[in-house]
Chain A
Amino acid sequence: MSRPKPSQPDATVLTGAHYLDGDEACAEGAIAAGCRFFAGYPITPSTEIAERIASRFPLVGGTFIQMEDELASMAAILGGAWGGAKAMTVTSGPGFSLMMENIGLGIMTETPCVVVNVQRGGPSTGLPTLTGQQDMMQARWGSHGDYEVIALSPSSPQECFDLTITAFGLSERYRLPVLFMMDECVGHMTEKVVIPPAEDIPVIERRWYRGPKESYLPYQAGPDKVPDMVRAGDDYRIHITGLTHDERGYPVINAACQSVCVSRLVDKIRDNAGDIVITDEEAVDGADVVVVSYGISYRVATRAIALARAEGIKVGSVRLVTVWPFPEARIAELSRKVKALVMPEINLGQMYRELQRAAAGNCRTLLIPHCGGWVHDPNDVLAAIREGAK
């Protein structure tokens, strides 16, 4: 683990090449993105992020607090965001479950922040130290009510750095808690991470309201359906509630207001999906089979793809960098061109349901399930690719 040298003038962005694990890289990404408030509760395999933040924040002017539980951590970062800070919390499955209600409060109040889930095997306490990708649907639907989310899934320590910055950017741009869905393998895998110079890091600032104070309405949105924000303490006298509310932020408990309020929360993501969705594609043109994967499963898939190509199978890859919103238009398009879409994931079929839905029977869809605890054997993925190419 590299630490800033004592005499270094700016400890904020540790420009240079490092040997970091995914958890440490995520912490550095948060710092580089401007995160200066962190609240969390320890849980394997995410604890190293909190530890890194606890040791680094005093050097970069951030405030770290270890809360009494994950309910508190999630509530605290929402408060932190309204106080005017970029805020983050990190956890794993059991803590993610505890955060759900307040993730919903963050969605409803349109509060920018980043929630990291370094996934382990579940359900319940499950496999504290071993990997899983079993919270993907919880990320999408875990809090009650209708809403859309943005979730990302890094597949290397370098991406833990880069995409944490992207996650903060998206949270500020679209004003919602962005879910950063790591997994134990990526979190604990150590690789080279290159941190660019500060001026090359794309940091997106808050959408501060710029109009006259008298005419500010907290939930009045422009054409992109995202309202501008103010922070507590600037005498705007805002009211922010988890109840269904109008543009003033005032509770209005009826179906008409619910329709306006909830539709906008959903539409601001759906309408802007083209700007949000990130996929990483390789050799999909002319492919008979496309492997759709994310997180650590992508790393395993690349090995299987290489083996399949050695056998002469035309196989491409689509990696979901953002897992939510699901790139359904792209998958639908591909489903009309290929024989099969193959998905390895460390669960018994979660994102696979989306894959099936988007493919709509146009091609075969093959799931390579795994209960968690370890990654797939590349040969299992290879077998599915062979099957799909038939």
Chain B
Amino acid sequence: MSELLTTPAPGGPVVEEERHPHEPFLRMDRIPHIWCSTCGLGTVLNCYITAIQRSSVPRADHTIVSGIGCTGRAAGYVKIDSFHTTHGRALPFATGLKLANPRLKVTVFSGDGDLVAIGGNHLIHAARRNMDMTVICVNNFNYAMTGGQFGPTTPEGAKLTTAPYGSYEHPFNIPFLVDSCGATYVARWTSLHVREMIETLVEALNHRGFSFVEVISPCPTVYARRNRLGTGLDLLKYYHDSAEVRHGADTRDVDISFKGRIIVGRFVQRCKPTYLDTMDAALGRSVGKEFVCYEGPMQASDGRS
């Protein structure tokens, strides 16, 4: 529900100003954002903010880490502790943050290029460790911020500035990649699936372990234009017509081809000890009585420990 604020206009009638319910979670002093109109990123950010509010984690514990890219700008708009790091390094930064303060709920919100290309090594290792964090990977099939170059998720045949005749590389099937590396929660939606995405993000945020949500999202300005896929609205229509919900799908089968069907849903949800669980258990066993569990961050000046 919207929050109604009343502002007395001098000499005039009382004007009722309607505020967006997400305002308390947005850095309103940074709005308008830099994203193009009908870009899918705003929708994903909205879903994330709704999911934060619905998750079982207290607001102060939510922390967002982004890399670089259009998607990477997300960290700059959310009014929680937020870190905008370097290209590809959001995951290891987030790993340090989580290990230094295990109470935090760390979410990495970044693009396909950031997480799967330059940061690909960190992705497979964070999944392998079952590092307790949530990753929101916005896949717009290209490096949008730098003007639309092809990347490791670009479907074969799609044209981009550095693939002017169409990409001829085999793309990653990201859910399969992270599933096979050990991620314990893997899902995919498109930016059209707002309700489902929110439910999934709440589940992902409440999940213990490495939870990964891929969101297929329109980049009308560079990807769609170069490939004559129409407007943002046309892309949503494409998602509507070609998305197929298949919960529990074998991740080997969810690859995406150019203009092809997009299988969405919650693919993986399993229980496995997290990095911190295995570390504490193993050290407790082998070091024995002398083992001193990580004591948490240093005391801050207000005495919080």
- State the A residues within 8 Å of B (CB): 4, 6, 11, 34, 36-37, 39, 58-63, 65, 67-69, 71-73, 75-87, 101-102, 105, 205-206, 208-210, 230-243, 248, 250-251
Asked if residues B95 and A79 are in contact (CB atoms below 8 Å), the reply is yes
Is B261 at the interface (CB under 8 A from chain A)? no
- List, in ascending order, chain B residues with CB within 8 A of A39's CB: 92, 95-96
Asked if residues A59 and B291 are in contact (CB atoms below 8 Å), the reply is yes
Asked if residues A86 and B81 are in contact (CB atoms below 8 Å), the reply is no
**Contact string against A for B residues 265-305, beta-carbon threshold 8 Å, 1 for contact and 0 otherwise:** 00000000000000100010001011111111110111010
- List, in ascending order, chain A residues with CB within 8 A of B121's CB: 68-69, 72
Asked if residues B98 and A83 are in contact (CB atoms below 8 Å), the reply is yes
Query: Could you tell me which residues of chain B, from 75 to 106, have a CB within 8 Å of some CB in chain A?
Result: 75-76, 79-86, 88-89, 91-101, 103-104
- List, in ascending order, chain A residues with CB within 8 A of B61's CB: 233
Tell me the bound Cα distance from A73 to B97 in angstroms. 12
- List, in ascending order, chain B residues with CB within 8 A of A205's CB: 298
Q: How many A-B residue pairs have CB under 8 A?
A: 184
Tell me the bound Cα distance from A126 to B52 in angstroms. 50
Asked if residues B60 and A80 are in contact (CB atoms below 8 Å), the reply is no
Asked if residues A72 and B122 are in contact (CB atoms below 8 Å), the reply is yes
Asked if residues B84 and A79 are in contact (CB atoms below 8 Å), the reply is no
Query: Could you tell me which residues of chain B, from 32 to 84, have a CB within 8 Å of some CB in chain A?
Result: 59-61, 63, 65, 75-76, 79-84
Partner of B292, one of A59, A73, A101, A232: A59
Asked if residues A75 and B98 are in contact (CB atoms below 8 Å), the reply is no
- List, in ascending order, chain A residues with CB within 8 A of B22's CB: none
Q: How far is the CB of A120 from chain B (nearest CB, A)?
A: 24
Which residue from chain A places its CB closest to the CB of B304 in the assembled complex? A234
Number of interface residues of B (CB under 8 A): 53
Asked if residues A58 and B85 are in contact (CB atoms below 8 Å), the reply is no
- List, in ascending order, chain B residues with CB within 8 A of A87's CB: 96, 100
Tell me the bound Cα distance from A231 to B304 in angstroms. 11
| Smallest CB-CB A-B distances: 5 pairs | A84-B297, A83-B100, A79-B96, A208-B301, A76-B96
- State the B residues within 8 Å of A (CB): 27, 29-30, 59-61, 63, 65, 75-76, 79-86, 88-89, 91-101, 103-104, 121-122, 125, 279, 283, 287, 289-298, 300-302, 304
A-B contact pairs, 13 of them (CB 8 A): A36-B295, A58-B291, A59-B290, A67-B95, A68-B125, A75-B96, A79-B83, A79-B95, A80-B96, A82-B100, A239-B84, A240-B82, A250-B27
Tell me the bound Cα distance from A59 to B293 in angstroms. 8
Asked if residues A11 and B290 are in contact (CB atoms below 8 Å), the reply is yes
Q: How far is the CB of B273 from chain A (nearest CB, A)?
A: 16
Which residue from chain A places its CB closest to the CB of B76 in the assembled complex? A239
Q: Given A37-B100, A63-B99, A237-B79, are A79 and B65 also a contact pair (CB < 8 Å)?
A: yes
| Residue among A79, A80, A205, A231 with the highest chain B CB neighbour number at 10 A | A79
Q: Given A58-B283, A72-B125, are A82 and B83 also a contact pair (CB < 8 Å)?
A: yes
Asked if residues A86 and B298 are in contact (CB atoms below 8 Å), the reply is yes
Tell me the bound Cα distance from A248 to B290 in angstroms. 44
- List, in ascending order, chain B residues with CB within 8 A of A231's CB: 101, 297-298, 300
- List, in ascending order, chain A residues with CB within 8 A of B289's CB: 6
Q: How far is the CB of A156 from chain B (nearest CB, A)?
A: 30
- List, in ascending order, chain B residues with CB within 8 A of A77's CB: 96
Q: How far is the CB of A237 from chain B (nearest CB, A)?
A: 5
Tell me the bound Cα distance from A82 to B96 in angstroms. 8
